[in-house]
Amino acid sequence: MDAPVKIGIIICDRYRTCAGGKCLRALRNREGAFARYRGKEVELVGFATCNGCPGGNIEYVPQEMKKNGAQVVHLATGMVVGYPPCPRIPYFTRFIREKYGLEVVVGTHPVPENYYQTHTNLGTWDAGVWKDLTAPTLTDEETRRSYD
């Protein structure tokens, strides 16, 4: 059997009290951005917040995750669905790739339907960059509803 893919998850600090239930469920079920791991073993080696705007932990947390064997860092779905979504996601992605040589995936669990509807109505994700950033976590309506 292949070695497990080792991943870390960085969540938005405004959700710092989150227990990670949706992320862990999606990881177990290989849903949302974790669908890329279907048929593969995955090991979670780190879970931390960005430490709040402007994301001070982004400078240090990936290093700790890498020391623990992380190959991929996921920026949690909360960074995309929050009101407003994190405007620093593109920078965080480039920084982590450049500084630590880690692959970065935007998203963890599927976007919940209630967030999907609100952001659709607001036109939040109409711009090209947001279409790309939300793509890994947009699923069918039934799955989105199950994450409400």
* Structure confidence by residue, pLDDT tens digits, 5-55: 999 999 999 999 999 999 999 999 999 999 999 999 999 999 999 999 999
* Structure confidence by residue, pLDDT tens digits, 91-104: 999 999 999 999 99
State residue 128's pLDDT score: 83
Domain that holds residue 53: 5-146
For the segment 57-69, the average pLDDT, to the nearest whole number, is: 97
For the segment 47-75, the average pLDDT, to the nearest whole number, is: 97
What confidence tier does 1 reach under pLDDT thresholds 50, 70, 90?
Answer: low
Nearest-CA neighbor of 74 among 85, 87, 61, 84?
61
Assign residue 49 the CATH number of its domain.
3.40.50
- The total number of structural domains that make up the chain: 1
What is the C-alpha to C-alpha distance for residues 147 and 43, in angstroms, rounded to an integer?
22
Query: Exposed, middle or buried: residue 55 (CB in 10 Å: 0-12, 13-18, 19+)?
Result: buried
